[in-house]
Structure formats: C-alpha cells, structure tokens
Structure 1
Amino acid sequence: MRTSSFEWIADDGKPIFVHVFSPDEGAEVRGVVHVSHGMSEHGARYTRLAEALTARGLVVEAHDHRGHGRTAKSDDELGYFGPGDGFGRVVADLRGLLARARTAYPGLKQALLGHSMGSLIAQGALPAVGDKLGAVLLSGTNGPPSLMARAGVLVAKAERARLGERGKSVVIQGMSFDAWNRTFSPNRTPYDWLSRDAAEVDKYVADARCGFSATTTLWVQLLGAMGTLARPDALARLPKDLPICVVAGSEDPVHERTKNLRGLLDAYAKAGLSDVTYRVYPGARHELFNETNRDEVTREAAEWLVRKLAR
C-alpha cells in the first residue's frame, strides 16, 4: 500500500486535510472508497481498513472533517464545525471531495463509507450524490432521532447560550460519551464503549487527536440535522437501486443497541430502496473496524464493496 496526503481547498477557502491510500505500483485499480470518519477522531485511524481495501484494488481517501485531525489547525478549532450551518458546511465538504475524486480517478466507480458522525454526514450528502455512487456503507449510524436525541438539542442550545459558541459542556458529555460508557460499568477507561479490544481502546486514549469534547455548537448542529436526514423528500432523490449496507454492533449504545436503526431501515423501505443490506455483529460495540472481530467485519465489508463496485 502506498500512502500520501494533500490539502483540498473548500469553496470558502478552508484547507481540508486528506489522507490517501493507494494499491501498490502496478496493481489493478478497481474503484475508489471515500471514508467519512466519526466524532473526536480522524481519517488516519482507518489505515488498517485501507490496507485491506487497497489489497483488493481500491483507492481509499479519508479526509479530516472541520474541527478534527489535521484540518483543525489549533486546539481552539477542535470539535467546532463553524458558525451558522456548520453541519451543512461539512456535508458540502464531502460533496466537494467526492466530486474532486471523480475527476482524479476518471472511469472508476466510487463508494462512500461513513462511520458514526461521519455516517450522518454521509446521509446528509446522499440526496445530492447518490446517483454518482456505486455503493454506500454506514457503520455505527443512526436513524431518525430518538426522544433522548430530540431532548439533547434543547440541552445543547441551552449549554451554547451558557458557555458560548466554542464552549465544551460537561452536561452534554455526560449525556453522550459518559452515558454510553456507563452501560459497560465497571469501566477501565472513559472509552470502553468503543470496543471490546482493550488495546484498541488504549490506542484511542493515547492518540492526541482523539477523545476531545465537541463544542456546544457542533452538538446543536449535529443533533438538529438528524431529523432531516431520512425524510421522505430527501430519500426520494436517491436511486432506487443504490446499494446501501448498514453494519452495526449489537452492543453499540450510540444507536441504542440497534433499536434506533429500525427507523432508518423502515425509511429506506418506504422510499423503495431495493438493495439495502443490514448486518449486526453479536457482542460488538461502536467501532466495528477496531473490534475483536475486526477481521471478519473488514473482510465482509471489503467483499461487499468490491462486489458492488464491480457491477
């Protein structure tokens, strides 16, 4: 596998850092996969997944969202999408990067892989780019907001008014990351909810670009957008035969141990989407590609992507 990187300049002038993983020199290239990472992490964490995908002839690009990874130029930027419609801004970044890749790799089919927050950003982009994609894989995702998520918007707005645009709220942290972790008490770390693999959790804890708190503004923007992603008018714009694969850990607290995914799958069915795959991995937590059964998850995801991009 060959690795490289570049900075893509968004239409508002913001440099977005992009990690690139390519098959070895001379290998056949079969398609392109773009990774949209989760909250409080970054694109380089998908290097091991990229190794499996590049071995099968797929180019992988993974950018660091605004407020994350090497796109965040200072600690003040961490966990902050931006003012106003920050969620719309990161969705526009994803659309722009997908368009850039279509020009950079002409003739190759393109897939989108989104994890957690990144899967919600991917959902937000689908109405505009679904007809240009060969496959979509959503990991650790969510459907229409639960009662807790709807209440979370009100809390996040109150905390933003109290702490400011870039404030970090222990109240919101307690309702999200901390609450998810408590379901696995007694806890070894604050991030046991990510994976059953202690070594993988320790890597996350040790990574200076992981584990930071998101700003009150990001939470307002993200939770506020969740109710719009699976609306009938949005899903009506997707090709009926767009291949979508939803993968989940049975013990992932983020989607309430798969409970919240039912609304998403029902919305896809009502929209007439005919190629939706749903796979639950027993015992797995939030980060499927860093789980104890990651080889199984990675193999099945890679085989599905290659199969769909070869159609």
Structure 2
Amino acid sequence: MYYNTNILKSTDGESICYYRWQANPDVPFKGIVQIAHGLGEHAGRYNHIAHLLQEEGYSVYANDHRAHGKTAEIKRLFGYYDGKEYFDDCIADMYALTNLMRAENPNSKFILFGHSMGSLLSRKYVIKYGKELDALILSGTASFIKVLGTIGLVTASTVKTFKGRERGNAFLKDFFFGEFNKKFKPNRTKLDWISTDEAQVDLFEKDPYRTEDFSLGVFLDIIKNSKKVNSPEAFKATPKELPILMFSGDKDPVGEMGKGVTRVAKQYEKYGISDFTFKLYKGGRHEMLNEINAEAVEQEIISWLNQRI
C-alpha cells in the first residue's frame, strides 16, 4: 500500500474522504498532483499512476467526490446527492483539498489531473483557480455530445419536475452507460467501452466502490456543465500560459470516437493556449491509464510533466 486516507471538512461541513501518496523522500521533491476521478469510480483506482509519480518526486492527493467511493461510504449513501449544484459542490471540495495540500507542501508546484467527469470538473476549476496552477492534465474529456446531451438534458429536466433531484433514474443510467457500450457489440460485459484490456474491465466490474445508480441531480448537472465548459466563454477564461496535456483514445465513446475530443483540442488552440499538447491514441478506449499500452501512456505523462516542472 502506497497511500493513506483521511477526512476533510468541505466549505459546507460535508465530510470528504481523500487519499494521499507521499513523495519518495529519497528523490528530489518536484511538486504536488491533485487527481479528480470520473463518474462512477473512485480515487483509489489511480494508485498505480500515483505510485509512479511518488517515485518521481511528486506527492499525490485525490478525493472521492460526493456520492462516490469512501466519501459516499461515510453515510452509506452511494450515488445519492441532495445538493443544488453538483459541479459547484465538487469544485468546492476539490479546492478545500487544494488548500490542505498547499498547507502541507508550501511553495510547491501544483498540477491538476482530471479524468472523464473529473476532466470536466478540472476544466471548470481552472476558470476560477487556473492562475494557481502550474500544469493541467486532461484524460478522457469530452465535447458537448449534441444528440446524447440534448436528449439527456430534456429527459432529466422533465423527470426532475415530477420527481425531484434526489431520486435515481434507471432510464438515464441505462441511456448514458448503455449508449457508450453499444459501440462495442457484441458485448462481453457492461463495461467494454472503458478498455480493450479485459483484465482491467473485469477488475472494475468487481470493484465494490463502482457506482452506476445516481441521483437525478448528478446526471442533470453533468450535462449542464458539459455544455458550459465547452462554451467559447470557458475556453477564453482558461489562462493562456497554463501548460495543458490532453489525451484520449480514438475509440473512446465519451470523446465521440476521437471526433469530440479533437473539437476540444481545436478550441484550446483557437483561444491561444501557448503550451498545449494533444495525444490521441489509436485503438484506445475511455481509460488510457487502464489500456493495454498503459505503461507507455504513463511514461509519456511523466515525461511531459517533468519537462515543465
């Protein structure tokens, strides 16, 4: 085990569980990396890349978002969210962790790493706090998926009117996760879309912290914020001097099989990010850190980071 876990209190008093991987004291210290995980997973799944970063001289922190992982376990309410704006609450939690990280590692370089939903959270985070960052890494991010997003937004808004934000919704769960998996029929599992590495797919399928049943408010706020972070205003508000590494698989349905994530890359370039790197891996699906070529991907991330930090 390379990490320990602890609890922090967010701005509204909510208890948030976070992981900490302390940098190897035998190598020169380089900085701190904060990881924002994706929908339905948890921070513990990033143990391998966090350990590699440890050995490179980085301390790594990651919290389980609300309704996820060990944060949800505190109240035994997996997937449940009764707040008003999921992304705003998650970003407040992330910033509370940022402040804790800085208190424990003063005057350090600071890198934010976001995957999938965590990448959308990170893209919104940098609009508000980007001047405090030294680098941003985005994995498996997305453009606003017009057909899927529009149908989902209309459906979620309609259901919310009658049932409220706190209730779960089987249709939306199946609609989102099922639509992604349809790209890989005939399906071996419900999670074929995440990786071509069957061992990794099976591992996640058995993960006791994997969650699919979320309150309606979670789905609704993800769709709304996906639209917001892909607006011209969001790209304009991203600090131009912030180094950004963005990577995805060209068979990732979240990135519209390379097309959507390429649109995001073009927007960052259009709005003048001075140090922008985009990697689209051939044959890769949603989780490049769990793909068959994960080792090469990890080394490219570390190389990119070391060149800038």
Scaled to the shorter chain, the TM-score interval is: over 0.9
Q: Distance in 2 between matches of 1:264 and 1:148?
A: 17
The structural deviation recorded for 1:255 is 1.6
Q: Deviations over 1:186-243 (max 9, x none)?
A: 1111111111111111111111101422221101111011121133333333321211
Q: Could you say what the CA RMSD is over the residues aligned between the two structures, in angstroms?
A: 1.8
- Counterpart CA distance in 2 for 1:90 and 1:294 is 28
8 Å contact kept, 1:78–1:212: no
Correspondence 1:257 to 2:252: no
Moved more, 267-276 or 196-205: 267-276
- Structure 1: state its 5+ residue gaps: none
For residues 93 and 201 of structure 1, do their structure 2 counterparts lie closer, same or farther at Cα, with a shift above 3 Å needed? Answer: same
1:158-188 Cα deviation digits (max 9, x unpaired): 2334544332222212321111112111111
Moved more, 51-60 or 210-219: 210-219
Residues 25 and 57 of structure 2 are in contact (CA less than 8 Å); yes or no, is this contact kept in structure 1?
no
Give the letter aligned to residue 198 of structure 2: A
Going from structure 1 to structure 2, the CA distance change for 1:232 and 1:180 (only over 3 Å counts) comes to closer
Matched, 1:168 2:165: no
Rounded Cα–Cα distance in structure 2 between residues aligned with 1:173 and 1:249: 23
C-alpha separation in 2, matches of 1:292 and 1:76: 34
Instruction: Tell me, yes or no, if the aligned pair for 2:2 and 2:51 is still in contact at 8 Å.
Output: no
CA 1:99/1:234 → structure 2, altered by over 3 Å: closer, same or farther?
farther
Between 7-16 and 72-81, the greater mean CA deviation after superposition: 72-81
Are residue 206 (structure 1) and residue 206 (structure 2) matched? yes
Structure 2 residue identity aligned to 1:147: V
Q: Which shifted more, 280-289 or 235-244?
A: 235-244
Return closer, same or farther for 1:201/1:295 CA change in 2, 3 Å cut-off. same
Contact 1:31 1:57 (8 Å CA) reproduced: yes
Give the corresponding residue for 2:125: 125
**In the alignment, is the contact (CA less than 8 A) between 1:2 and 1:24 conserved in 2?**
no
- The corresponding residue for 1:64 is 64
* Aligned position for 2:143: 143
- Comparing 116-125 with 153-162, greater Cα deviation is found at 153-162
Does 1:279 find its partner at 2:272?
no
| Cα displacement (A) at 1:44 | 0.5
Distance 2:90 2:297 in 1: 27
User: Could you tell me how far apart the structure 2 residues matched to 1:25 and 1:274 are?
Assistant: 33
Tell me the amino acid that sits aligned with residue 249 of structure 2.
G
Structure 1 residues 6-155: aligned runs within 5 Å: 6-73=6-73, 77-155=77-155
8 Å contact kept, 2:79–2:211? no
> How far apart are residue 2 of structure 1 and its match?
4.1
8 Å CA contact 1:21, 1:54 repeated in 2: yes
Superposition deviation, residue 128 in structure 1: 1.6
Equivalent residue number for residue 227 of structure 2:
227
- Does the 8 Å contact 1:153/1:224 carry over to 2? yes
Partner SS state of residue 227, structure 1 = helix
Cα pair 2:21 2:60 within 8 Å, conserved: yes
Unaligned runs of 5+ in 2: none
The residue aligned with 2:270 is: 270
Contact 1:181 1:192 in 2 (8 A): yes
Secondary structure at the aligned position of 1:228 is classed as helix
Once residues 75 and 197 of structure 1 are traced to their aligned partners in structure 2, the CA distance between those partners, rounded to angstroms, is: 33
How far the C-alpha of 1:247 sits from its partner, in A, is 0.3
2:113 and 2:169 map into 1 onto residues whose CA distance is 29
Q: Is the 8 A contact 2:37 2:43 kept in 1?
A: yes
Deviation per residue, 1:85-109 (Å, 9 max, x gap): 2221111211222232122211210
* Contact 2:78–2:211 (CA under 8 A) maintained in structure 1: no
Counterparts of 2:117 and 2:177 in 1: how far apart (Å)? 13
One-letter amino acid matched to 1:86: Y
Separation in 2, partners of 1:303, 1:112: 16
What secondary structure, in the 3-state scheme, does the structure 2 residue paired with 1:73 have? helix
The answer on whether the counterparts of 1:205 and 1:211 sit within 8 Å (CA) in structure 2 is no
Is the contact made by 1:16 and 1:63 (CA closer than 8 Å) also made in structure 2? yes
Is contact 2:2-2:47 (8 Å) kept? Answer: no
Provide the C-alpha distance between the structure 1 equivalents of 2:166 and 2:85, rounded to a whole number of angstroms.
Answer: 14
Offset of 1:267 from its aligned partner? 2.3
CA–CA distance in 2 between the matches of 1:104 and 1:246?
28
